[in-house]
Structure 1
């Protein structure tokens, strides 16, 4: 398998793997851990989107940098907060 050339595309693929792992955790029982993994992967992707230069963002770039960082940070923080707040 050949990896993508841009750093952002590699990070995007790692983000997808983390989301898949989180979904497997949600489906198999420890849903809180799965939701935290998914939320944390969004926060990490947002941080990388903030620091990676524009010509290396690849698939990590959806819209403008500000939109991407704010949206992924909001999603990540919301999911982590959801996992903490929802009673068991």
Structure 2
């Protein structure tokens, strides 16, 4: 398998892998850990989106930088809060 050339695409690929692992955790039982992993991966992707130059964003870029960072940050923070406050 050939890795993507841009740093953003590599980060996006790692983000997708983390989401897949999180979904597998949710499906197999420890749902709180899976939701936490997905949320943290969104927060990490948002942080990387702020520092990666525009010509290296690749698949990590959806809209503008502000939209991407705010949306991924909101999703990540919401999932982390959800994992922490929902009673088991």
TM-score by length of 2: 1.00
Partner of 2:46: 46
Aligned mates of 2:65, 2:86 — CA distance in 1: 31
Structure 2: gaps (5+ residues): none
Q: Once the 2 structures are TM-superposed, how far is the Cα of residue 23 of structure 1 from its aligned partner?
A: 0.1
Distance 1:3 1:83 in 2: 32
CA separation in 2, counterparts of 1:25 and 1:37?
9
Kindly report the root-mean-square deviation, in angstroms, between the aligned alpha carbons of the 2 structures. 0.2
The 3-state SS of whatever aligns with 2:9 is: helix
Mapping of residues 12-27 of structure 1, within 5 Å: 12-27=12-27
**What TM-score, normalized by structure 1, do the two folds share?**
1.00
State the shift of 1:49 in Å: 0.2
The aligned counterpart of 1:30 is: 30
- Hey, what does 1:77 align to over in structure 2? 77
Shift of 1:6: 0.2
Unpaired runs of 5+ in structure 1?
Answer: none
State the shift of 1:56 in Å. 0.1
Deviation string, structure 1 residues 23-75 (Cα, Å, up to 9, x no partner) = 00000000000000000000000000000000000000000000000000000
